């Protein structure tokens, strides 16, 4: 027993030492980009932040907060000057981390940064920061909740205007407010039930209380379900809308890809079947993120095993794609409809696409009814002016999405991008203050669990013989799920997963 107690005491001391090392030491990191640059920003946060200023800058007292000072920065031991730069002071709790912070803005050469880091390690209780540690300290100081932390991570990785907009809304707490409002509504109804449980036997309580709470919870369920319906939009906005180009060999799929990437990403030759594999690129289409996949030309009369594998990969990509670009040749479409006397040529065109582009497996997918698609009529430059006029006169009555382009001279590409953007807008939505979007799988998971408890509550309270005490526990569990989203209820493992995604210095 004594030995076990000693072991337990030793573990407590070790854990305390680790905690002190993690949360009470002063940390530093390069917060600007790496590599040669005009200015590099080194951030220091913790109780020894002013000690760093005193020993490396020679300050006697903390400077005016958030006012830049031009000072020589030197080694605390040798006193040799490292660089002349700006020093800024951010006293806690009014800083990013909630702790005392200072920043050195120095010249961005590798030699200066290395000398600065070497000097910082010579000061007691100062160590390099771990990835995400500055933000983690901000979280523990109550400066940010977990939703805002994840928004900051998205902001650092944003590559398009819409990704930036969505991340800023999340960082500003718009999404957190929505989840906290859900939680507050549940808490309010739980309080009604608690009052009923505590005072029903001694005081007069509204007999219709159960029905009122039930109706309130049903409204919360509707609100959460409406919010969850946008989760696919948020996922696509973060990771990119998966878009695949399908068509027969040598129809111009790779040429279109090269135009959109503005460089020779794919090999283009007059030889049919040049593309053998699926080529994937990330694009910014008018602010919307898109993952575009160029695929092997679809045909059945080939015995080339590599090409056959490429076609199979094209079919597999199509199964999980969000938008399908169906590419056809203008001359083929012209020949097909020139003898069509119907005003609406939509059925004729769609039948051509299905019969001439889709192999059997793609026909089974029912793409024309199940997925958003845009028919791209390429090689308009091969038609004479009269045929172009005739073709466009027929197509203007088309009841489907199409764009006429020439990948040779880029004619029609602007119209194509405009129509593609409309598809992207429908798929991604437009995040706003009034309409924040679910953007993380973690949020969706806890919201779905919250709904399970809320629906269980409604089922139980509908039962006349229900135990109101046990039924109320469902509301507490629902609140816990919402608390896990914002970090009001959390575990260290959850925090580790979130913060490890950050770069060092943030």
HSE of 425 in the Cβ direction (CA atoms, 13 Å)? 7
CA angle at residue 208 from 206 to 214, to 5 degrees? 125
Q: Please state whether beta strands 37-45 and 101-108 pair in parallel, antiparallel, or not at all (unpaired).
A: antiparallel
- Domain 237-428, what architecture? 3-Layer(aba) Sandwich (3.40)
What's the Cα-to-Cα distance from 362 to each of 247, 311, 330, 371, rounded to whole Å?
Answer: 12, 11, 22, 12
Q: What is the CA radius of gyration of the chain?
A: 31
Provide the whole-model pTM: 0.75
Contacts of 125 (CB under 8 A, 6+ apart): 24, 25, 26, 46, 47, 48, 51
Q: In what order do the strands lie in the sheet with 126-128?
A: 69-74, 81-90, 101-108, 37-45, 26-30, 126-128
| pLDDT value, residue 268 | 46
> Torsion angle, CA of 441/447/453/458, rounded to 10 degrees?
-140
HSE of 74 in the Cβ direction (CA atoms, 13 Å)? 13
List, in sequence order, every beta strand (DSSP E) within 31-100.
Answer: 37-45, 69-74, 81-90
- H-assigned helices in 366-467: 367-370, 385-395, 413-428, 441-461
Closest CA to 415 of 380, 367, 390: 380
* DSSP calls for 96-110: SSSS-EEEEEEEE-H
Per-residue pLDDT of the chain (506 residues; tens, 9 = 90+): 444 444 434 444 444 444 444 557 999 999 987 777 889 999 999 999 999 999 999 999 999 999 999 999 999 999 999 999 999 999 999 999 999 999 999 999 999 999 999 999 999 999 999 988 999 999 999 899 888 988 888 888 888 888 888 888 888 989 999 999 999 898 888 887 777 766 554 444 455 777 888 899 999 999 999 988 888 788 888 888 898 888 888 888 888 888 888 866 544 444 444 444 467 888 888 888 988 887 766 655 655 555 556 666 767 777 788 888 988 888 888 888 887 767 788 888 888 888 777 766 676 677 777 888 899 999 999 999 898 898 888 888 888 888 999 988 999 999 999 999 998 888 887 777 777 888 788 999 999 999 999 999 988 887 766 677 788 889 989 989 999 998 876 555 446 655 665 566 66
What is the Cα–Cα distance from 123 to 102, expressed in whole angstroms? 15
What is the Cα–Cα distance from 371 to 365, expressed in whole angstroms? 9
HSE of 260 in the Cβ direction (CA atoms, 13 Å)? 27
Q: 27-129 with 148-230+436-499: one CATH topology?
A: no
CB 399 within 8 A of CB 350: no
Q: Where are the domains of the chain?
A: 27-129, 148-230+436-499, 237-428
- H-assigned helices in 131-252: 133-140, 146-157, 161-171, 174-199, 209-228, 231-239
| pLDDT value, residue 269 | 44
CB 257 within 8 A of CB 265: yes
- What sign results for the dihedral spanned by CA atoms 334, 340, 345, 349? negative
Q: Please state whether beta strands 323-329 and 373-378 pair in parallel, antiparallel, or not at all (unpaired).
A: parallel
CA 130, distance to chain mean position in Å, is 23
CB 134 within 8 A of CB 174: no
What's the Cα-to-Cα distance from 252 to each of 59, 85, 204, 263, 411, rounded to whole Å?
Answer: 67, 55, 78, 15, 14
- Domain 27-129: what homologous superfamily? Probable tRNA modification gtpase trme; domain 1 (3.30.1360.120)
> 148-230+436-499 has which fold?
1.20.120
Closest CA to 324 of 433, 241, 233, 267: 241
| pLDDT value, residue 293 | 84
What is the Cα–Cα distance from 297 to 358, expressed in whole angstroms? 11
What is the Cα–Cα distance from 400 to 377, expressed in whole angstroms? 13
List, in sequence order, every beta strand (DSSP E) within 248-317.
Answer: 279-285, 288-294
């Amino acid at each position: 027993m004594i030995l076990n107690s000693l072991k337990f005491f030793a573990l407590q001391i070790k854990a305390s030492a680790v905690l002190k090392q993690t949360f009470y030491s002063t940390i530093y990191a390069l917060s600007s980009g790496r590599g040669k640059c005009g200015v590099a920003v080194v951030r220091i946060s913790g109780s020894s932040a002013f000690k760093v200023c005193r020993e490396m800058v020679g300050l006697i007292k903390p400077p005016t907060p958030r006012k830049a000072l031009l000072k020589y920065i030197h080694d605390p031991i040798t006193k040799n000057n490292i660089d002349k730069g700006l020093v800024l002071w951010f006293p806690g709790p009014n800083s990013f981390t909630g702790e005392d912070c200072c920043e050195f803005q120095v010249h961005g050469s590798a030699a200066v940064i290395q000398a600065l880091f070497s000097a910082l390690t010579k000061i007691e209780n100062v160590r390099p920061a771990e990835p995400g540690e500055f933000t983690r300290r901000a979280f523990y100081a109550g400066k940010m909740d977990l939703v805002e932390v994840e928004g900051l991570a998205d902001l650092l990785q944003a590559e398009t205007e819409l990704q930036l907009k969505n991340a800023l809304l999340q960082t500003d707490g718009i999404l957190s407010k929505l989840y906290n409002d859900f939680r507050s509504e549940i808490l309010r109804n739980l309080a009604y039930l608690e009052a009923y449980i505590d005072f029903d036997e001694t005081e007069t309580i509204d007999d219709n209380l159960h029905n009122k709470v039930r109706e309130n919870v049903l409204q919360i369920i509707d609100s959460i379900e409406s919010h969850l319906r946008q989760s696919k939009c948020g996922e696509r906005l973060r990771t990119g809308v998966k878009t695949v180009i399908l068509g027969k060999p040598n129809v111009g799929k790779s040429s279109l890809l090269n135009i959109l990437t503005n460089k020779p990403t794919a090999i283009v030759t007059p030889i049919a079947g040049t593309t053998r594999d699926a080529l994937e690129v990330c694009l910014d289409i008018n602010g919307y993120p898109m993952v575009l996949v160029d695929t092997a030309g679809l045909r059945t009369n080939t015995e080339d095993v590599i090409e056959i594998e490429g076609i199979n990969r094209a079919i597999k990509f199509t199964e999980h794609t969000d938008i399908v670009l169906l590419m056809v040749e203008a001359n083929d479409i012209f020949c097909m409809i020139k003898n069509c006397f119907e005003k609406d040529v939509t059925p004729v065109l769609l039948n051509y696409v299905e019969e001439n582009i889709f192999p059997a497996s793609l026909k089974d997918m029912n793409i024309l009814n199940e997925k958003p698609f845009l028919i791209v009529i390429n090689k308009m430059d091969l038609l004479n002016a009269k045929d172009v006029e005739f073709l466009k006169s027929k197509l203007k009555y088309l009841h489907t999405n199409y764009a006429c382009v020439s990948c040779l001279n880029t004619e029609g590409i602007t119209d194509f991008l405009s129509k593609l953007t409309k598809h992207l807008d429908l798929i991604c939505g437009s995040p706003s203050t009034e309409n924040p979007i679910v953007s993380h799988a973690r949020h969706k998971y806890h919201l779905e669990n919250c709904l399970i408890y809320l629906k269980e509550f409604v089922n139980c309270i509908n039962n006349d013989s229900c135990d109101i005490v046990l039924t109320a526990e469902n509301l507490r569990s629902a609140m816990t799920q919402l608390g896990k989203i914002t970090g009001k209820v959390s575990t260290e493992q959850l925090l580790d997963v979130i913060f490890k995604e950050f770069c060092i210095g943030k």
